[in-house]
Structure 1
C-alpha cells in the first residue's frame, strides 16, 4: 500500500504496520510446491497432481495449504489453495487485503461477522465466489471436505478477533 493509506481492524488496530509480521507467521508452515515450469515465458500451468500440501501454521489443525504462486510476505500477486476437512471451523478473523475465494469442491459456509453464527452463513457450493473487504470480520465452516482457492496481492495475513482462536499463540 502506498502513501498514508491506513486500514483499521474492527478493534481499531492499524493493519498496515502488522501486515508483514502476519504474513511471516502465515508462511511459517512447512509447505512447498514443486511445479514443472511451462515453456511459455511468464506462464504458470499447474495440474492438481503438481500441488504439494502442508499444514497451515495460522489455522487450526486439519487445514492444509498449497501455494501456487507468489510469496505471501511480499507485495506481489499470490494464488493459494486451502483444503479444509469436514466439520472444520474458521474462527472470526480479518485480513489486511481483499480476500477473493473460489470454491473448487464441496460447499463452504461463509459469512461476515464477529461471532460464528451458522444461521448467518451462506452455503457456497462448488463454483461460488466470495469477496471480502480488508478489515471486515468473517468466519467459515465446512460440513464436508472443501477445497477453496484464494488469490490477491500480498502481503497476506490473518488476525483472529479472539486471540485464543489463534493457533500461533
Structure 2
C-alpha cells in the first residue's frame, strides 16, 4: 500500500509541475496597464486586461476602474458574466430598468453572477475597481438602445 501512495505522489507532483509551467506571468495591481474602456461602456471608466482577449472566443479576465458616480444602464451579455469587487463598491440590480431601490451594494471581496441574457445594471458610489471574467467575445446589449454610448 505505501508504494502505491508514493507512486501517486510522484504522479501528482508531475501534474502540479505541468500546471505551474502553463501559469501566466503573475502581476501586481500596480503593474497593470490601464486604458480607456471600449466605446460600448459609458465614458469615464478604464480597463486592464489580465488574461485572454475579451474581443475573441475564449475565457477572459479584466478589471474595470470606475470613478465615483459611474453608472452602466440596464443591459445583458450573450454569455455568463461574473464580477468581483476588488476595491470600493459596486451596486448591482437585476431588471429591465435602472432602479437603485432594487439593487444590492457589494463591497471589496463581494461577488455577483449574471447568467447570459439576464438584464442587469450597476453603479459605483466611490472610486472602485471590479474584476469581470467570462467567455468572450465580450458583448453588451442595452435594454434601451438609446443608452448605448457607442451609438451616441
Where on the TM-score scale, by shorter chain, does this alignment land: which range?
0.7 to 0.9
- 2:143: which partner in 1? 161
2:22 aligned counterpart, secondary structure:
coil
Gaps in structure 1 of 5+ consecutive residues: 1-39
Aligned CA RMSD, in angstroms, stands at: 1.1
Find the aligned partners of 1:153 and 1:61 in 2 and give their Cα distance: 23
Find the aligned partners of 2:69 and 2:134 in 1 and give their Cα distance: 27
* TM-fit CA distance, 1:168: 0.9
Number of residue pairs aligned between Structure 1 and Structure 2: 130
Q: Which has the higher strand share?
A: 2
What TM-score do the two structures reach when normalised by structure 1? Answer: 0.74
CA-to-aligned-CA distance 1:2-25 (integer Å, 9 cap, x gap): xxxxxxxxxxxxxxxxxxxxxxxx
2:72 is the alignment partner of 1:90: yes
Look at both structures and tell me which one has the larger radius of gyration over its CA atoms: 2
Gaps in structure 2 of 5+ consecutive residues: 1-19
- 2:44: which partner in 1? 62
Matches within 5 A, 1:138-153: 138-153=120-135
- 2:11: which partner in 1? none
Q: Which has the higher helix share?
A: 2
CA-to-aligned-CA distance 1:70-118 (integer Å, 9 cap, x gap): 1112221100000111011111000011110000001110010111100
1:104 aligned counterpart, secondary structure:
strand
2:60 is the alignment partner of 1:78: yes
